Amino acid sequence: QGHLVESGGALVQAGGSLTLSCADSGRTFASYTIAWFRQAPGKEREFVTCISSGSGITYYSDSVKGRFTVSRDIAKNTVSLRMNALKPEDTAVYYCAAHQGTGSRWDTDYNYWGQGTQVTVSS
């Protein structure tokens, strides 16, 4: 079994931008729906975005729509999350997840998870 690994988390000032990356050494991402979730201290895990393997379309939560963009790089076998106009409320651990079905906002639908990367947005 391969390993999902997130990278790119950092401390950034409000209004700034950051790009996270999800990589997998044992899977071909083109065959999977890839999602990003996040969890802030004291809060439940929250759906952020996903990109579907079936249709290729993307979905975004209302809280990030218009600011975040998810994309695939087939050659590199990675999925990136570009985050713009960051707010302190975006502070959380961000997780990459994968499953073989269509796009879903439910974390229980995803079979494979990374360990997360910390994003902190200061005001």
Question: Quick one: pLDDT band at residue 2, thresholds 50, 70, 90?
Answer: low
Each residue's pLDDT tens digit, 80-96: 999 999 999 999 999 99
What pLDDT, on a 0 to 100 scale, did the predictor assign at position 53? 86
- Cα-based angle 14, 76, 50 (whole degrees, multiple of 5): 55
Average of per-residue pLDDT across 103-115: 94
Each residue's pLDDT tens digit, 10-68: 999 999 999 999 998 777 888 899 999 999 999 999 999 999 987 789 999 999 999 99
Q: How many CB atoms lie within 10 A of CB 113?
A: 15
Q: Which of 18, 22, 17 is nearest to 4 (CA)?
A: 22
Asked if residue 74 has pLDDT above 60, the reply is yes
What pLDDT, on a 0 to 100 scale, did the predictor assign at position 3? 82
DSSP string over the chain: ---EEEE---EEETT--EEEEEEESSS-GGGSEEEEEEE-TTS--EEEEEE-TTT--EEE-TTTTTTEEEEEETTTTEEEEEE-S--GGG-EEEEEEEESSS--S-GGG--EE---EEEEEE-
Average of per-residue pLDDT across 65-86: 95
Asked if residue 1 has pLDDT above 60, the reply is no
